[in-house]
Structure 1
């Protein structure tokens, strides 16, 4: 019988065996595949990036659960590394959370990041985001753990309270969410770079996101690992690099009427084939053709 270790179990092994895990974020299957091909051992699937890619929209909570789930399936099919997905606020009450956890486990998603924003949510980097009470977030976490069947399924509790209620309240909530059973805590948008050390000093596993244009953009992975962070995410790097590349390519095309001036920044056909694993399909087809001598007897 075919069996394999779950991606959730692989993710827990990574945390046990590594000083820090680095996980760039992707919003589609190509991006996630390129993360894996670049040598990273885990990928985060960003709801913000998915909103940008799927809808051409800002991250304002309008991407449906069904759209997210279908995209996750595509990404899982294109990768083998553990995948941590953005669960936003859980898509409603406790019953939607139950459905989400059960389906994500069945899909072999390694874990989720669930947050304490109000529903529907907004991107934490846009404005002062509203958060629910700590008690309501604990109810979300209780629903996650009650629904969880695979004990390896990893749960990151995220608090966005720092921006609207102050950094001390974010620290208080971090302890509450850890006490509720979260495997790891994520405090978004620390007001000062020095606050990163206060987060890392918390007596339980913590992660952080490096976002270009914020107070923590210049930290390196080694610096963060030395502080004590166990997971470092790069949630916007790929999507924003892609946006800039597309904008600049189109501007050059509009200005020059051709691609010559920009061609050194365009993937070659060979590179495109490598990025999309064309060789896998060719090898599979060749294997089928090698076995084509088999005949069906009446």
Structure 2
């Protein structure tokens, strides 16, 4: 099955798929090793890890595409890539969608923010007009019609400035234009989440940012509300940063570090050293000297 086919099969299941979001190949491998069915390349976390900068449109299309390719080469579970605003006009959107399909992504997210985009739970974000937003999704669908084997995750941030009704109207139109998964960013209450799932067709994604605007509900409640995917974009990044700060503090004070560290054997195994050595055994030549 192609990555897109794997994701379609998951979405056909009547269940909530919990989706920890990755930011590089190693974090994606850990998600897969923990037996999660899919992952998302968080733009917030990827920008922080790759260029050490906030998610404010500073990463280029090429940098994001390269990071996605690294992830898909290291894992086999479906990856949803963050295509931001498509990196330009509708023609750029077409190129973006086609590029992520070639890189092995199962889906690509295209959003209606005004460029440069911002994290959905930070100040200052704004959306483009309805017409421009719809053109982005039309262009994404056209890229797929030309052979890009990929799903389209359509995101709207209209809730922030224009209210829930506008966000629902936009997302509903996205679905008409070919979007496979709908994502209304930052509903503020559980009731808003229920309204979204009741009024919008097809699979919906909830975006759960610890400390963000959307209620951090238990998985069972998200499932009952009607979500197909629950994304956790910053959980792994926040955990990694907290752990690194803790051990850096211990190191600076010459305190014991062992309680905060993964043991060396487990670390090697999770990175892939042991499987590498096992696989390489079959290629070892005999000890006989080569005779010319």
* TM-score for the superposition, normalised by structure 2: 0.93
Post-superposition CA distance 1:176-235 (Å, at most 9, x none): 212222112101111223211111212412111111013444312221111111111111
The one of 90, 106, 111 equivalent to 1:110 is: 106
How many pairs align? 290
4+ long deviations beyond 6 Å: 293-298
Q: Is 2:186 aligned against 1:189?
A: yes
The residue matched to 1:194 in structure 2 has which SS?
helix
What's 1:154 paired with? 151
The one of 252, 269, 273 equivalent to 2:268 is: 273
Q: Structure 1 residues 173, 294: CA separation in 2 closer, same or farther (over 3 Å shift)?
A: farther
- Cα pair 1:163 1:191 within 8 Å, conserved: no
What's 2:259 paired with? 264
Cα distance in 2, alignment partners of residues 123 and 15 from structure 1: 25
What's 2:277 paired with? 282
Q: Structure 1 residues 56, 294: CA separation in 2 closer, same or farther (over 3 Å shift)?
A: same
Shift of 1:253: 2.1
Post-superposition CA distance 1:213-262 (Å, at most 9, x none): 134443122211111111111111101111111112212222x224x1x4
What's 1:37 paired with? 33
Q: Structure 1 residues 176, 282: CA separation in 2 closer, same or farther (over 3 Å shift)?
A: same
Shift of 1:101: 1.8
What's 1:13 paired with? 9
Q: Is 2:109 aligned against 1:141?
A: no
Cα distance in 2, alignment partners of residues 69 and 28 from structure 1: 12
Q: Is 2:90 aligned against 1:72?
A: no
The residue matched to 1:113 in structure 2 has which SS?
strand
Shift of 1:95: 2.1
Shift of 1:151: 7.1
Cα distance in 1, alignment partners of residues 88 and 148 from structure 2: 23
Specify every segment of 5 or more residues in structure 1 that has no aligned partner in the other structure, as ranges.
none
- Cα pair 2:154 2:181 within 8 Å, conserved: yes
Cα distance in 1, alignment partners of residues 10 and 58 from structure 2: 33
Shift of 1:152: 5.2
Cα distance in 1, alignment partners of residues 187 and 142 from structure 2: 31
Q: Which moved more, 1:155-164 or 1:214-223?
A: 214-223
What's 2:207 paired with? 209
Post-superposition CA distance 1:68-116 (Å, at most 9, x none): 1111111111100100011100010122222222222222210111100
Shift of 1:168: 2.0
What's 2:160 paired with? 163
Shift of 1:276: 0.3
Q: Is 2:176 aligned against 1:179?
A: yes
What's 1:127 paired with? 123
The residue matched to 2:31 in structure 1 has which SS?
helix
- Cα pair 2:16 2:223 within 8 Å, conserved: yes
Q: Is 2:79 aligned against 1:83?
A: yes
Alignment of 1:96-107 (within 5 A): 96-107=92-103
Cα distance in 1, alignment partners of residues 288 and 186 from structure 2: 62
* TM-score for the superposition, normalised by structure 1: 0.91
The residue matched to 1:96 in structure 2 has which SS?
helix
What's 1:240 paired with? 238
